[in-house]
Amino acid sequence: MTSQLPEGLGLLGVIESWEKYESLLQGVSELPELSLEDVKLLAPIPVPRRDIFCVGKNYREHVVEFGRSGYDTPERSEELPEAPVVFPKATTSVTGPFDDIEAHPAVTQELDYEAELGVIIGKGGRGISREDAFDHVWGYTIIDDFTARDLQRKHKQWLLGKSLDTHCPMGPYAVTKDEVPDPGALRVQSWVNGEARQDGQVSDLIFDIPELISTISAGITLLPGDIIATGTPAGVGIGFNPPRFVQPGDIVEISITGLGTQRNQVGAVVPA
């Protein structure tokens, strides 16, 4: 980020000591001149402290497409959830914003994308109220909650289907909350091989960011650097009939207003 930060600190370290680094970073008027072509962008938080908190079924039209698909088990339902559906995505699934996504042909044949706004927690806490929720937000990034649909269905619980290695492209940027005065105005979009697939707006979340933070933190202490993937809008592969899973060689792009665009190719099948 800047030569004024300790070597190798990383964004997680910055967030954990934000009181110390905020003013320092705000005082930086010139960043080192590096061309994006000359660097490799990693995920903003390549190794989160713990699993990412993901939220399922949090946009109305996606609830309907997911219920209709038959992939929602054990109950097939197009009804809106009464409370946030929260599940984990393993830290080891995180990959960079332009890295290849592994196809994992030995364990899955049904790969799908989910464009999501990722909320990065700053100040930790438990029992955070809706009113105080944004005091605990550090900023935002893009998350692809990439999913092996057959594993998601087969194993009932979603951890395995959501957590294969490289199935969580993150970034390219992490943006502080002061740059995003109204997260509801953010537009979440995805494309596969250039074809538009998802186009939602964060204001359409069934459970908004304060609700998610207050729900998760009710009995679990949120930590600095925790990430909440807020859910995906309609237009995922299983929303089509028949489903349109992504295949090796396909390119998934995800963009959110002001947060940049990530671009990941599903890796070609490597011969055994």
Q: How far is the CB of 26 from Mg ion (least distance, A)?
A: 33
211: DSSP letter: H
Which of 152, 232, 255, 264 is in the footprint of Mg ion by CB under 5 A? 232
Q: Which of residues 145-204 bind Mg ion (CB under 5 A)?
A: 145
CA distance linking residue 220 with residue 167, whole number of Å? 25
Q: Report how many residues bind Mg ion under the rule CB under 5 A.
A: 3
Instruction: Find out whether the peptide bond into 44 is cis, omega within 30 degrees of 0.
Output: no
Q: Across-strand partners of 175?
A: 140
Contact call for residue 93 and Mg ion (CB under 5 A): no
Stretch that binds Mg ion, among 6-14, 25-33, 64-72, 114-122 (CB under 5 A): 114-122
* Helix, strand, or coil (residue 236): coil
Q: Which of residues 134-153 bind Mg ion (CB under 5 A)?
A: 145
Nearer to Mg ion, 198 or 232 (CB): 232
Q: How many CA atoms lie within 13 A of 121 on its CB side?
A: 28
Which of 223, 118, 113 shows the shortest CA–CA distance to 175?
Answer: 118
Q: How far is the CB of 179 from Mg ion (least distance, A)?
A: 24
Nearer to Mg ion, 58 or 217 (CB): 58
Rounded to an integer, what is the distance from CA 168 to the centroid of its chain? Answer: 7
Nearer to Mg ion, 63 or 175 (CB): 63
Helix (H) or strand (E) holding 21: helix 18-26
Contact call for residue 72 and Mg ion (CB under 5 A): no
Q: How far is the CB of 143 from Mg ion (least distance, A)?
A: 8
CA distance linking residue 231 with residue 255, whole number of Å? 14
Which of 180, 173, 170 shows the shortest CA–CA distance to 134?
Answer: 180
Nearer to Mg ion, 166 or 232 (CB): 232
* Helix, strand, or coil (residue 212): helix
Nearer to Mg ion, 21 or 59 (CB): 59
Q: Across-strand partners of 191?
A: 196, 253
Contact call for residue 114 and Mg ion (CB under 5 A): yes
Nearer to Mg ion, 110 or 114 (CB): 114
Q: How far is the CB of 57 from Mg ion (least distance, A)?
A: 9
Nearer to Mg ion, 133 or 238 (CB): 238
Stretch that binds Mg ion, among 23-31, 120-128, 187-195, 229-237 (CB under 5 A): 229-237
Q: How far is the CB of 121 from Mg ion (least distance, A)?
A: 18
CA distance linking residue 99 with residue 57, whole number of Å? 27
- Name the pairing type of β-strands 227-229 and 115-121: antiparallel
Contacts with Mg ion, residue ranges (CB under 5 A): 114, 145, 232
